[in-house]
Amino acid sequence: MASSLTKDSASTPGYEKTFLGHPRGLANLFMTEMWERYSYYGMRALLVLYLSAEVADGGLGFEDATAIAIYSVYNAMVYLLALPGGWFGDRVWGARKTVAISGTVIMIGHFLLALPTTVSFFVGLGFIAAGSGLLKANISTMVGHLYRDKNDPRRDGGFTIFYMGINLGAFVAPLTIGWVGQKVNWHYGFALAGVGMAAGLLFYFLGFRNLAPESSQVPAPLSETERASIIKRAMIWLAVAAVAYALVGLSGQFTIDWVLWPLTVLGLALPTYYLVRVRRDSDLEPVERSRMSAYVWFFVAAAAFWAIYDQTGSTLTLFAKDNTAGSLFGFEFPSSWFQSLNPLYVMALAPVFAWLWVALARRGKEPSTLSKFATGLVLIGSSFFVMMLAQTASAGGVKVTPLWLCSVYLIQTVGELTLSPVGLSLTTKLAPAKYASQMMGVWFLAVTAGSSVISLLQLVGAPTDTEWWFASQGAIAVAGGIAIFMYRKRVQPLMGGVH
């Protein structure tokens, strides 16, 4: 079967080696991304469960609120670091080298989680966040490098195949890593995630010869003066942080909050600063400034969406563990398996939505991007209204049917398919020319902001096991979606001709 998928350029002059009709390097990048996502989502399926598990059960014994805050800060940092990750690829190492280094850092991080010490666990978590940010920003760029012609008709199909690897890895991860972690040993589960990243690196290194030469280049290398200045400033800030935390440690006042609070504030402050800086840039044309004014509102709405959506690994995971029956139709399973539902739904529904938009467009009935965005917000909010009902049904220690969470994840996935692609498209359309590449990183900052809000709520003591937790967030998201739909005719002029 493998030979039918490839053509050997050595035997057939003028032909490149192909994978499903695409450049051969796509196979290697597909496998690298699939295994990296396997390790990421597998570890994420266990993270809150391990943090909140009693010490006697092998966990770290944190309160649920602290565990959720740690998870939220970790998630926020992954997406925050995607912005400097792209900078490293463009100015320091090039995409190919950056992915190799970041994948190695991720693998080391997972194996550090596998060690039975608290210090190694949190160091490993930092490694994974940094490595994931670096890799996330560069591996997709390398897929684009495979197609020398920007108008290559295979390009969109190549990205579709590549992104299927994300969902395939995310689907299998909780089923295997989640089961090993919950049923065998937490640290064996984390080690299995490390093995997954090692497999991804193996495919990556074996496929070096199949990657585009452009991926090895540094598009805008730093000058020696710039490099020296950046290193100097980084060392100064590192020294300040080291001294500050050393003083706190020596005073005996250090707790996990000394890490969570600064990172939470950073996750809210940096996106705000970046949006304001871009909006006020004097180099922007009036129409570009107007578009950025419109984009700020979309960004806030997206942050609300991701704040709810990314609770699949925190509050919904704890609800699955504490309030949901671990069996359905006589089949028993660990609570981490619920996190396989979203990628399963995505793989099943994404082709349906792709067909639906084309079919509606042919009839002149395709919803506008604003309407799709509004629909996504309403759906994600509605999913938390369903969670409010599930929380009510679980009152008094009742274990509710897994069908509650199955329904919630289905609604959220439909919302994701209506909002996430539209958000990416809007970002590219509304981005000022000066910030065309950087604005994709800004879109990821919406995830950072949303996760940081959830962390902040936990740090100030907001309870997650009440109907109001779900109802309040659901109401905000639904109200935001309705507002965008009702005022779409007022927002449209700010978008400077973008539809």
Residues 482 and 455 in one domain: yes
Neighbouring C-beta atoms of residue 448, cutoff 10 Å: 26
pLDDT, position 338: 96
Residues 458, 468 share a domain: yes
Residue 11 is assigned to a structural domain of this protein: no
Task: Determine, yes or no, domain membership for 4.
Answer: no
Taking only the tens place, the pLDDT of each residue in 53-96 is 999 999 999 999 999 999 999 999 999 998 888 888 888 888 89
Residue 87: exposure state from Cβ atoms within 10 A (0-12, 13-18, ≥19): middle
Q: State yes or no: pLDDT of 6 exceeds 60.
A: no
Confidence of residue 208 (pLDDT cuts 50, 70, 90): confident
Whether the pLDDT of residue 1 is over 60: the answer is: no
Task: Judge contact between 59 and 52, C-beta under 8 A.
Answer: yes
**Domain C-terminal end among 237, 254, 271:** 254
Instruction: Of 427, 414, 425, give the one whose Cα is nearest residue 348.
Output: 414
Q: Is 278 in the same domain as 332?
A: yes
The total number of structural domains in the chain stands at 3
Answer whether 319's CB lies under 8 Å from 405's CB: yes
Beta strands in 65-197 (DSSP E): none
Same domain, 329 and 228: no
The reply to whether 199 and 250 lie within a common domain is no
The arithmetic mean of pLDDT across residues 392-401, rounded, is 92
If asked whether residues 278 and 193 sit together in one domain, one would say: no
2 is a domain residue: no
User: Is residue 8 scored above 90 in pLDDT?
Assistant: no
- Is residue 231 domain-shared with residue 190, that is, in the same domain? no
Closest CA to 301 of 353, 378, 361: 378
Average pLDDT, stretch 447-456?
95
Tokens matching residue 81:
């670091």
Tell me if 260 is assigned to some domain.
Answer: yes
Among 221, 236, 270, the domain boundary falls at 221
Please report, for the domain that includes residue 179, its CATH number: 1.20.1250.20
Tell whether 354 is covered by a domain. Answer: yes
Q: Which among 170, 199, 221 is the end of a domain? A: 221
Hey, what are 67's tokens?
A: 């565990």
Please check whether residues 108 and 178 belong to one and the same domain: yes
pLDDT number for residue 23? 86
Identify whether 134 is part of a domain: yes
Residue 367, domain member (yes or no): yes
Domain range enclosing 409 = 256-499
Is 349 a member of any domain? yes
Residues 265 and 247 grouped into a single domain:
no
135 and 199 both lie in a single domain = yes
For residues 234 and 262, state if they share a domain.
Answer: no
Flag whether pLDDT at 12 surpasses 60: no
3-state secondary structure 448-480: HHHHHHHHHHHHCCCCCCCHHHHHHHHHHHHHH
Read off the pLDDT band of 441 (50, 70, 90): confident
Convert the pLDDT of each residue in 404-415 to its tens digit: 999 999 999 999
Distance CA 143, CA 88 (A): 17
Same domain, 297 and 162: no
